[in-house]
């Protein structure tokens, strides 16, 4: 990677983990969502372990949405975005690196917390491993798709809600294949690899479409 890319990655990572960053809040929100479900569904362990992967996935989706609204807005508010447009670096790559740093700071902790939260939901070890693996390959897609919404709502004061409305429908395919590959690992007859590879493909597609669409939206957001 070239020096400017590394500098941008390090800066975004520092900003997320230092005071005022949102890295830890996402994990706490994830914890809150997942712990609340058993209280609502009741102490039916079989039911919990059956819907557990889905709960973890929905929790991860909501936690990802929570931190996304500041992805570009913080840079727009203090004039950094203007300078980034003039810096002579390809904006698509800038967006991709920002998403990568954002995922390392907020998505990766969610993946790391997933096995622990799986215990709360009575998920057996094999399924625990499967759902963690699907989250590992699937959450980057959530961040990258969310970046499109973050770029579109960058100039709005209260863009967070609109962002969620815009992004959730686009995230449905990721959710479907994430949960179905986790389920496939538990129920033997269904192959695990088929939905899992589609999930990987969704992440790769998002890595192309997300930055291009976000960069186009950001270019229009300056005037």
Please report, as ranges, the residues that interact with another protein according to CB under 8 A: 3-4, 6-8, 11, 14-15, 18-21, 77-80, 82-89, 222-223
Nearest CB to another protein, comparing residues 98 and 164: 98
Q: Please, which residue, 80 or 122, has the CB nearer to another protein?
A: 80
Cβ nearer to another protein, comparing 36 with 219: 219
CB of 86 to another protein, least distance (A): 5
44 or 82: whose CB is closer to another protein? 82
In the bound state with another protein, the residue whose beta carbon lies nearer, of 156 and 166, is 156
CA-to-CA distance for 137 and 199, rounded, in angstroms? 7
For the bound state, the minimum distance from the C-beta of residue 10 to another protein, rounded and expressed in Å, comes to 8
CA end-to-end span of the chain, whole Å?
Answer: 31
Report the nearest approach of another protein to the CB of residue 178 (Å).
33
CB atoms within 10 A of CB 123: 26
Minimum gap (Å) between residue 81 Cβ and another protein? 9
**Cβ-Cβ contacts under 8 Å for 72 (sequence gap 6 or more):** 81, 98, 147, 150, 151, 154, 214, 218, 221
Of 105 and 174, which has the nearer Cβ to another protein?
Answer: 105
């Amino acid at each position: 990677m070239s020096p400017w890319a590394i500098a941008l990655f390090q800066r975004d990572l520092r900003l997320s983990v230092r005071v005022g960053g949102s890295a830890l809040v996402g994990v706490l929100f994830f914890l809150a969502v997942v712990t609340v479900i058993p209280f609502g569904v009741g102490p039916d362990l079989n039911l919990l372990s059956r819907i557990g992967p889905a709960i973890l996935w929905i929790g991860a989706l909501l936690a990802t949405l929570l931190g996304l609204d500041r992805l570009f807005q913080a840079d727009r508010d203090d004039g950094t975005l203007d300078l980034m447009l003039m810096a002579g670096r390809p904006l698509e790559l800038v967006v991709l690196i920002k998403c990568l740093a954002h995922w390392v700071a907020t998505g990766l902790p969610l993946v790391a917390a997933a096995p622990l939260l799986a215990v709360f939901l009575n998920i057996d070890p094999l399924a625990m491993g499967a759902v963690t693996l699907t989250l590992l390959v699937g959450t980057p897609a959530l961040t990258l798709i969310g970046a499109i919404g973050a770029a579109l709502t960058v100039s709005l004061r209260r863009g967070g809600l609109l962002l969620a409305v815009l992004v959730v429908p686009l995230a449905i395919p990721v959710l479907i294949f994430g949960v179905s590959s986790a389920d496939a690992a538990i129920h033997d007859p269904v192959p695990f690899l088929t939905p899992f590879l589609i999930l990987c493909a969704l992440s790769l597609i998002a890595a192309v479409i997300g930055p291009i669409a976000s960069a186009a939206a950001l270019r229009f957001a300056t005037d």
